[in-house]
Every structure is written in C-alpha cells, then in structure tokens.
Amino acid sequence: MRIPSRCLLAFLTASTALALAPAFAEGTGTLNINGTTGLIDMPSGEAQKDATFSFSTAVVGPITRATLSFQVSERLSGSFRFQTWRDWDAVIPGDATETDRSLDLRYQVLKEGKFAPALTIGLQDFTGQGRFSSEYIAATKGFGDRLKVTAGLGWGRLGSYGGIGSPFGDRPAVSPTGTPNTDQWFRGEAAPFAGVEYKLNDAWTFKGEYSSDAYLLEDDTRGLIERDSPFNFGLEYQRTANMRFGIYSLYGSEVGLVFHVILDPKSRMAGGVMGAAPVPVKSRPARTDDPEAYDGGWVTQADAGPILRKNLAKRLAADGIGVEDIAYTATTVQVRIRNGRIDAGAQAVGRTARALSQVMPASVEVFEIVPVVNGIGASKVTIRRSDLEGLEYTADNASLLRERVTVTDAGPVPAYAIGDEGLYPKFTWSLRPALRLSEPLKGDIGLRLSATYDIAPGFVLSGSIYKQIASNTDLGTPSTSPLPRVRTDESRYTEFGDPTLVRLTFAWYGRPAPDVYSRLTLGYLERMQAGVSGELLWKPVDSQLALGAELNYTRQRDTDGGLGFDEYDYDVVTGYVSAYYDFGNGYLGQLDVGRYLAGDVGATISVDRVFANGWRVGAFATVTDVSAADFGETGFDKGIRFTIPFNWALGTETRKGFGLTLRPGTGDGGARVEVAGRLYESIREYHTDGLDPDWGRVWR
C-alpha cells in the first residue's frame, strides 16, 4: 500500500499548522521500539528529562533490538543499539543469525513553547555499516495534557518510503569501515513521516504513525517480514516511572512488543542511603566558664596519643572508616583516614570531624582530615571546630561550612604521627557473584574471588580469579586481523580461560612531590596482558586541570587464563601523555595521546558525566595510524561506558558498583592495557571537584 506523496504533504502541512496552536503543558517524550525518543518506529521532536538513562528491548517477529540511551544534557542524547535478525537465510543462503550494532545522536534545536513545536535533528547509525543509516528532522507539538502531534522528514533508511525528492543531492554508497558517514548525511531521497500520541489516562497511551521506513532489507532483500502497510498502531502501559510496556500492530503484518527500563541517575531508587546515624557534634564549654578545659598540658601525657587514637578508631569503625595515623599539638590535630564504605567523600570527612569533636580535648580548635587512598594522602581538609559547633543546626549549614573549610595538598605524614602497628599488613578477601557482558543480552555469569594484601602504606598485593557458571556467548573464530591480536581474540579467552586468573599484581603508590602522585604496578595486569605499568599524575587539589604520563611494557597472556604467555610471544611498549579537565556540572573530559597495544600511534578523547551519587556515563573514541580497513568493520575504536553504584539501587552503604563498556565492534587498534588503580579516578574524589558536588552530605 503506497500513499501518494501529496496526501502526506497535506498531512504534514496540517500538522505544522496545528503546531502553531498553544499547548497547555510541556512534557518529556516517550520511547519508541528503537529505544530512542519517538512514537512507535519513528522519532519525535521531544527529548527525555536531563540525565535519563534507559534500557529498551523490543521483539518484532524474527528481529530483536536492545538499546541503551542516555540524555547527555537537556538537548543532546546518544544511543547504542544491538540488533539481531533470526532466520537471516530465509531467502539468501548464509548464516542463520545476523547481528548489527549502531550509534545514534540526537540534538533538540528548539524546546516546545507556547506556539513553537519541539524540534530535533538526529543521526541514526551514523558510524555503522549502513543498515540503519538515516537522518531526520522531527517536530512535536502538544495540545493540552493528552494529545501530541509529530511530523518530520527522513533521509536514508527513514527516506525509503513515500519520497518527495532529493533536496540536497544524491546519496553516495555507505562506507563499510565504520567511520562517520558524513558524505551521506541529509543526502538522497527525503520522505515525510507523521504520527499522534494520545494519553488515555495516567497509565495507558495510544500511538499511531505513518512510517517512512520501507524495511527494504528485512522485506525485499531477506524476506524476514512482510511490510504491507506504512501505518503502525499501538498501546503503551506505564504504571511506574521506571518501567513502560508496549504492544503494537506493525507494517500491517507483525506484532511488536517492547519493554523499557527508565532510570534517573539524579534520584536514588531506594530513596536515601541507609546507614548508621551520625553522632552529634560535641560542643565545648565556653572558655570563660571552664578555662581549665582549654589547658594544653595534656599533650605532655605519655599515653595521651594511643588513648586518643584508640577512642577515635572505635567511633569511626561504625562508619567503615579506619584511622591510619594521628598527629596533634595542643591546638591542632591531623588524622589520616581510610574510607572503606561510605560512597561520598564529603560524608566521610563529616563523620570524622564529628568523631574528633567527641574525642579531642577542648584546646584542639583545628581539625585536619587527610583521606588516604592506596596508602597515599589525597588531600587535606581543614575544619575549625568552632565552625562545626556553631553551624550544626543552622539553615544552609553545608554551604556556610564549605565557605570556611580549606582543601589543600595532603603533604607528608608528620614525623610525630602515631600509627597502629596492627594496621599493617592487612588481608581482605571476598567471594561474590559476577556478571560479564560482551554486548546487550550476551555474556556470562560466574563467581569472582578477590583478595587484597596491604603490606604497608602504598604497597598493595592484589588479585582475582573468575569461574564461569553459565554463558550464552559464542566462541569466535581465530582472528584474521592483520594487526597483533591484542583484543580480537577476546572471545577465545572467555571460552578457554575457565577458571581464569584475571589479575595478580603488586602496586606501589607514592607522593614524590607536592601535587604529584605516582603508581608502579607489575604482574598479571588483566586477563590478556601481563607486565609492568608506571604512571605519574600532576593534580593540584583545587585545579580543574590534571596532567599525566604512563609507560607500560606488556606481554600477551595465554588464552587458558593461567600463568603462561601466548604462542606468538607478543610484547610491546606502550605509553601516553594525558590531560584531564573538569568542565563543571559533572562533565569530565580526557585526552590521551600515545602508542597503543597493537603498536599503533594516535589519540583517545573521552567525555564522561559523573553524578554525586556515583553514577557515571560516558563516551570515547580513538583514532590511530591504523587504517579503517585494517582495523575492521567499525573503522576505529569507539563506544560508551557506564557505572551504576549498588547503593543507588539498594540504599546500603557500599562503594561498589556495576560497570560496563559497549563498543559497536572490537578491533585491535586503539587498545590500552587495563590497569586497576589508575591515579586520576583514585584521588579525584577527595579534591575540590570531587568533594563539592556532594558537599551537602558532610552533615549526614
């Protein structure tokens, strides 16, 4: 069934005219079966709420789509999609199953106003093999609280049905190398699409659309579905803010199902973090009422230090905070702490300050709190005791306290500091279930045994072993990459390395100079590489900029997950110079330039958005001197990554979380050795750019 273009133009004109009418309310958009903001199969002009993270899975006949989307800012969003076609050989003999990965970008040019519609420009599969490659302009206008009308124009795949001409010239063939298809963008036949969305009640929504996607690959070429109609209809159900279901009649021949999980990193699913309530600040008597309480003669008592340290450690143990050292004079105390459980650095500092007010004699006015990470001081937070006493019950006390607190370089451990001989060496271990995803809906589950042996401050021996329990991953064929196979044989490490020694390393962390941090790690660094890795980082505590350098020598490990090395005996020297910058509002940028594992030379740029509660979502791209053809089907290394902290979902005090990196494809170019404990992320939490976003928790 083919609708004449003049009819669609009339519908588009009518929709645009209706868009001039005022809307009673502006809302965020819903998601389509592609996992992006839209109607059913078509996009819309709306956007999600800022920072919304969603996971969508849709089934349409033999087609399964899984999509991760993130609203990077109020206007910009990105998506990673993984699609599987079953019965791929229905018409053309070949593999029974075919897969494809793609990346999308959307930018909302206009937000909906009284008369203007929301207007979005989007790129779909802009670096892929062309199966979904398309561009679009979509406008959406709301009428009251229930009705929304969308109209748009699509190119590429979204311009394959009901075309009205090629306003910007012919569309060249797609490059199969995975590089951005810029010469295709908005070229070729353009076709209109349109649709409506009507909210029946608080839970149910009706959607209808006219699709400009002819599904040429699935219908004409592969015979997987029959596209008999451009009209799609469906109902969606959303009872809670986090889950949405949809059922649709598609193309006049298929039934589609979709399930969306919608998460807000700014709000915890479990509400607040459950933990022990803080002890109150203990106020001192006025100096005029009890002048003897302020006498500093107590410092001459031989047992004063051990007693104070013991009492402080006992109070902080309830919060999972260990006391490394304590040093004091009659007016100042410096305590070096190790935070093992609280996810917010500001809260760990606040709990320590409260405990000090309970323990220290009245003459001590200045609290210097030094968080220690891997045995080295990350910063020194200086708080006046009188400010704690005076502001505890004051309105806006967090902001007022921050104005009076200073954060400076940690400096060396005072020579007269009192430590605990029983603190080192310290052995800890854990056995936990683990999930390894190689792509959406594919991976394995197992058990991970991890252990750490803190020999002395800054000297750490650690390792982990993984045992697979169940898996739905496939054993890939041996790599045919012309480059050293530093990543393309990864599936063989999964298949043959069971159980596998994932990591076994000795690391030395130090502070060679003010504002300078160092790391030296040697051993089995990751499941594919072993060797030695060294790093230096310059990062003043109050600076948005940090600079680093890393040098590595590695040999490739055997696929059996043991202590041996691969038959090719491949070794390489890699190294990078890095720049890190905090743009504010949680946006972090990083640029690395150097030599990668396959011997190629190039640069990696990455941008991450970090939330105060531990959520982290980012994207990266690496371009090196390896040609797109040699790299493989994706042309260059790129992908998205995210980390979800367990306490966000569970509400318990823990610093652990679940992290995943997804790539459209795996190649050997642009690969870096994965080393635990890299310096920037280790110490940033206790610098001003890490403390300030969550400073309100200093009183919790």
Domain boundary among 423, 454, 474: 423
Give the separation between CA 643 and CA 249, rounded to whole angstroms.
36
Domain boundary among 362, 395, 423: 423
Average pLDDT (379-388) is 96
Answer yes or no: are the C-beta atoms of 192 and 163 closer than 8 Å: no
Residue predicted with more confidence, 76 or 241: 76
Q: Which of 210-214, 226-230, 268-272, 539-543 has the lowest mean pLDDT?
A: 268-272
Residue environment code for 625-644, b if the CB has 16+ CB neighbours within 10 A, otherwise e? ebebebbbbbbbbbbbbbbb
Answer yes or no: are the C-beta atoms of 460 and 374 closer than 8 Å: yes
Give the separation between CA 535 and CA 320, rounded to whole angstroms.
29
- Give me the helices (H) in 297-384, please: 304-317, 345-359
Torsion of CA 535, 538, 540, 546, to 10 degrees: -90
Helix (H) and strand (E) counts in the chain: 10, 32
51 and 185 co-located in one domain:
yes
Average pLDDT (377-382) is 96
Confidence band of 556 (pLDDT split at 50, 70, 90): very high
* Confidence (pLDDT) at 630: 82
609 and 654 co-located in one domain:
yes
Around Cβ 559, how many Cβ atoms within 10 Å? 21
Average pLDDT (648-662) is 78
Residue predicted with more confidence, 199 or 493: 199
282 within domain boundaries: no
Domain boundary among 401, 423, 445: 423
* Confidence (pLDDT) at 94: 55
**For residue range 450-493, what is the model confidence (pLDDT) as tens digits?**
999 999 999 999 999 999 998 887 766 677 888 999 988 888 88
Number of folded domains that form the chain: 3
303 and 246 co-located in one domain:
no
Residue 3 has pLDDT above 50, yes or no: no
83 and 30 co-located in one domain:
yes
278 within domain boundaries: no
257 and 353 co-located in one domain:
no
Give the separation between CA 447 and CA 467, rounded to whole angstroms.
5
Give the separation between CA 234 and CA 38, rounded to whole angstroms.
13
Chain mean pLDDT for the chain: 89
410 and 451 co-located in one domain:
no
* Confidence (pLDDT) at 90: 60
Residue 8 has pLDDT above 60, yes or no: no
* Confidence (pLDDT) at 588: 96
414 and 430 co-located in one domain:
no
41 within domain boundaries: yes
Q: Which of 516-530, 561-575, 616-630 has the highest mean pLDDT?
A: 516-530
417 and 445 co-located in one domain:
no
Average pLDDT (561-572) is 91
Give the separation between CA 234 and CA 249, rounded to whole angstroms.
6
**For residue range 18-73, what is the model confidence (pLDDT) as tens digits?**
333 333 334 589 999 999 999 999 999 999 999 999 999 999 989 999 999 999 99
Residue 647 CA to chain centroid, in angstroms? 15
Residue predicted with more confidence, 644 or 248: 248
178 within domain boundaries: yes
Average pLDDT (543-564) is 96
Residue 84 has pLDDT above 90, yes or no: no
Answer yes or no: are the C-beta atoms of 565 and 531 closer than 8 Å: no
Answer yes or no: are the C-beta atoms of 549 and 693 closer than 8 Å: no
Q: Which of 21-30, 398-407, 526-535 has the lowest mean pLDDT?
A: 21-30
286 within domain boundaries: no
- Hey, what amino acid is at 172? P
**For residue range 500-517, what is the model confidence (pLDDT) as tens digits?**
999 999 999 999 999 999
* Confidence (pLDDT) at 17: 39
418 and 497 co-located in one domain:
no
Instruction: Decide: helix, strand or coil at residue 559.
Output: coil
Confidence band of 13 (pLDDT split at 50, 70, 90): very low
Answer yes or no: are the C-beta atoms of 314 and 308 closer than 8 Å: no
Give the separation between CA 594 and CA 579, rounded to whole angstroms.
12
Residue predicted with more confidence, 612 or 538: 538
277 within domain boundaries: no
**For residue range 203-236, what is the model confidence (pLDDT) as tens digits?**
999 999 999 999 998 888 888 889 999 999 999 9
| DSSP output for 216-285 | TIIIIIT-SS----SEEEEEEEEEETTEEEEEEEETTTEEEEEEEEEE-TTS-TTSSPB-PPPPPP-PPP
Residue 9 has pLDDT above 60, yes or no: no
14 and 125 co-located in one domain:
yes
Tell me the C-alpha to C-alpha distance, in Å, between residue 295 and each of 126, 307, 330, 358, 572: 72, 18, 8, 17, 63
417 and 493 co-located in one domain:
no
CATH code at 125?
2.40.160.40
557 and 506 co-located in one domain:
yes
Confidence band of 329 (pLDDT split at 50, 70, 90): very high
Residue 158: domain span:
5-263
281 within domain boundaries: no
Q: Which of 125-129, 349-353, 495-499, 619-623 has the lowest mean pLDDT?
A: 125-129
Average pLDDT (246-270) is 89
| Cβ within 8 Å of residue 58, ≥6 positions away | 33, 34, 35, 64, 65, 67, 256, 257, 258, 259
Sign of CA dihedral 73, 65, 477, 502: positive
Give the separation between CA 253 and CA 240, rounded to whole angstroms.
31
Polymer length of the chain: 700
**For residue range 141-167, what is the model confidence (pLDDT) as tens digits?**
999 999 999 999 999 999 999 999 999
Give the separation between CA 562 and CA 285, rounded to whole angstroms.
64
374 within domain boundaries: yes
Sign of CA dihedral 347, 351, 352, 354: positive
Answer yes or no: are the C-beta atoms of 159 and 190 closer than 8 Å: yes
Residue 651 has pLDDT above 80, yes or no: no
